[in-house]
Amino acid sequence: MGMMSRIVGCCLACSVMASGEIVQKLWKYDYSGMPVETLRDNAPLRDGFAMSFRVGNGLAPGQLVEVPKSFRLECVERGGQTYYERDGKNPALRATIWLTYQPRPKWKSLSIELPLNALGDDWSKREIGVLYDQVNFLFTVDGVIIDRNYPVGTLDAQDGSTVVKTDLLQDFRFSPSVAKVSRTKVEHRSTDGIQFYTPYGHNTWCGDVVVYYKDGLFHLLYLFDRNHHGSRWGCGAHIFHHMTTRDLVNWVDHGPILELTEQWQSVGTGTMVSSGGKLLSVFGWHTTRTVDYAQTVSSQAEKYLGKNPVAVSRKDFAPLVPSGTTYAESEDGLNFTWSEKFLNVTENPSIFEMSDGSLKLFGSSRTWSAPGIDGPWTLVDSSFPVAGKECALRSTFECPSYFEFNGYRYLLMGFTGMWAGKGEDGPYVDKAAEGLDIYDGLGVPFVAPYHDGRRILAGWPNRGWASVLLLREVISYPDGNLGLKWVPELAPKRDVKFGSGSVSGRGRATIGVGKTTSVYGEVTVTPSKPSGRLAIRFRDQSNPSLDVEFQIDLSRKRAQINGITGDDFAAGLPTAREIAASSDKGAGAGIGANLHCLSRNFCLENVRGLEGEFVIRFVLRRSKKLGAAILDVEIAGCRTMVSIRPGAKFDKIELAGEEGISLTGDFFKYPEEGHFDCGGK
């Protein structure tokens, strides 16, 4: 890897880590044990195959291996991923298979890519592998996966003569014996930190997040994603990865809770609970993305579950395909086994532990209760949670996050919904309808306890589906309302100061910054009266259409992030509540433009902490991997906002205010995004 990271042999014991270190457990494939055969006409590819080879620098675009109508390996001038682009050039190896899957006749070709610039200065020193085993189709470099997709169907038969250009493929080896390709765990170590975290690779992201705390160990699950939900013809084919920490600073990414082993499998959001002395990862199978509903167990749920459902084993509903709510269980909290049980039709189940030891499941306008994970599950509320037009922000039923905090119960619903109830049985109040929710630009946020009575929230900002990971700390107020602040343990350091500026009244202060430099800023705001506007602007002088402004309106207690033209303050945006009230279209993120869950331009209301002097902290994080700048803001230690600005290369920061407002800012270098050299070299 680059200076920020490295790969070493796997140590099963958790070692003592340096400050801010993240250890990722990765599979490394070894092709040396596979029996080598000639890739001839009509070679047996359908059940699986593997090949390894090397290529030289300057490989020209064109065909390398062709098994007509079945498999192709080629070099293309410009790959789909630009992370490794150099001097406008982005050559890539592209491997393609052709399949037939009768239920989805349009699903034919499936491709993976390897950006050749990722191989470093001497391409010929890197072993490249291609493996297909009916469930996985992947590229490796020196054994480590660089791209993967998940096929469905049967590999098409060859129709024509096989071509292998061994003059361009050095040390070419082929085998239909995939079982002989072994793999071992290795560790990838990084000091990039958990904020803005993404898993190892160039097209890998964190999707929906689950957090859980027990016995001093904080667990974080995220749906591992490639290409923003692009795998398996846009169906995602996601799996949960499992991370743990004891201090929120040093983490281990243990890899998948479960790996996909059958073509229909794709994991949906869930939760983590303890039940029966075991740690459980509860999730849903998104089976209907791949399999017709009539072939799934969900289609006959009433037959198998009845009115008071008890978990049903797969062997009892075969040959129906598993779907809906299920779980994996672990004795040691790290190694999980799928239960192969069916609990509920909900594909994004949220099961939580109650104070009396029982479990509750929220989903699809119903609440269920059970003494343990296998039931019996009793319907205790047939009208909550609500979604769609039954609530102000028309939230979806996806991904509920239930938590308790200082005598109140809370439920976050997907991208827009939030309810709060006092005590054990007080009625739920729609806080989003009052403009008192805690959404800040993070998608499907999830909250869990942490030690000393704290609550930690995690989520991802929207750049297509899935992106980087961010953590917050939840603040509780006596009236039951909540706020968000940055996690103190993860606060940026003030090590390398590169500038400062101040402005009073209607002036402006300008600070130059490198186009690729990430920035941490602290701006102290001193208003002489509780009114007026102030702004921190980020300018891209090469493309002013990308300029953006963070603005606070003191009198209206609003904060917004919006595009800006010229030197005037950006126009005020409506809040999510106001947008929903003026439109009857869509649900959740589909309500309209300028919603917080779209992570671009949006406005928050009822912002606390704006009386008297207060501090705004921000991080401007440059992400070549995301192709964007990320603006993360904390307001007076009471509220947060995050916005992704695609393509922006800000090189100037401005402070501006109206009469009676003074701003003083100090600016520091923030750690840069780590660079992934594939294969860990």
pLDDT in tens, 332-373: 999 999 999 999 998 988 999 998 999 999 987 889 999 999
State the pLDDT confidence band at 681, using cuts at 50, 70 and 90: very low
pLDDT at 11: 34
pLDDT at 468: 97
φ/ψ of residue 634, rounded to 5: -115, 130
DSSP line for 522-566: EEEEEESSS--EEEEEEE-TT-GGG-EEEEEETTTTEEEEEE--S
pLDDT at 1: 30
pLDDT at 313: 96
211 near 448, Cβ under 8 Å? yes
pLDDT in tens, 210-268: 999 999 999 999 999 999 999 999 999 999 999 999 999 999 999 999 999 999 999 99
pLDDT at 27: 96
Q: What is the mean pLDDT of the chain?
A: 92
pLDDT at 588: 66
The one-character DSSP state at 317 is: H
Question: Measured in whole angstroms, how far is the alpha carbon of residue 614 from the centre of its chain?
Answer: 32
**To which residue do tokens 């501006």 refer?**
656
pLDDT at 389: 82
153 Cβ contact list (under 8 Å, min separation 6): 99, 100, 101, 102, 104, 107, 263
pLDDT at residue 19 tops 70: no
pLDDT in tens, 494-505: 999 999 999 998
The C-alpha atoms of residue 9 and residue 188 are separated, in whole angstroms, by 9
State the pLDDT confidence band at 587, using cuts at 50, 70 and 90: low
Structure tokens at 388: 């769609």
Phi-psi region of 584 (alpha: psi -120 to 50; beta: other; left: phi over 0): alpha
State the pLDDT confidence band at 7, using cuts at 50, 70 and 90: very low
- Asked whether the whole model's pTM tops 0.85, one would answer yes
pLDDT at residue 12 tops 70: no
Residue 245 CA: distances (Å) to CA of 7, 22, 213, 405: 20, 9, 10, 22
Comparing 88-92, 424-428, 673-677, the range with the smallest average pLDDT is 673-677
Phi-psi region of 216 (alpha: psi -120 to 50; beta: other; left: phi over 0): left
pLDDT at residue 135 tops 90: yes
Structure tokens at 307: 């009115």
CA angle 615, 616, 619 (to 5 degrees): 140
The C-alpha atoms of residue 374 and residue 364 are separated, in whole angstroms, by 19
The C-alpha atoms of residue 573 and residue 131 are separated, in whole angstroms, by 50
The C-alpha atoms of residue 76 and residue 62 are separated, in whole angstroms, by 7
State the pLDDT confidence band at 82, using cuts at 50, 70 and 90: confident
The C-alpha atoms of residue 552 and residue 546 are separated, in whole angstroms, by 20
Residue 644 CA: distances (Å) to CA of 615, 633, 669: 22, 12, 19
**Containing H/E element for 304?**
helix 301-305
pLDDT in tens, 158-168: 999 999 999 99
pLDDT at 76: 95
Share of the chain above pLDDT 70, in %: 96
The closest alpha carbon to 192, from 470, 1, 4, belongs to 4
pLDDT at residue 586 tops 80: no
578 Cβ contact list (under 8 Å, min separation 6): none
pLDDT at residue 6 tops 70: no
pLDDT at 137: 98
pLDDT at 371: 96
3-state class (DSSP) for residue 233: helix
State the pLDDT confidence band at 679, using cuts at 50, 70 and 90: low
Structure tokens at 464: 């297509």
State the pLDDT confidence band at 309, using cuts at 50, 70 and 90: confident
State the pLDDT confidence band at 646, using cuts at 50, 70 and 90: very high
Comparing 60-64, 306-310, 317-321, 481-485, the range with the smallest average pLDDT is 306-310
The C-alpha atoms of residue 675 and residue 672 are separated, in whole angstroms, by 9
CB hemisphere CA count around 406 (13 angstroms): 13
pLDDT at 621: 98
State the pLDDT confidence band at 16, using cuts at 50, 70 and 90: very low
The C-alpha atoms of residue 642 and residue 629 are separated, in whole angstroms, by 11
pLDDT in tens, 522-576: 999 999 999 999 999 999 999 999 999 999 999 999 999 999 999 999 999 999 9
The one-character DSSP state at 323 is: -
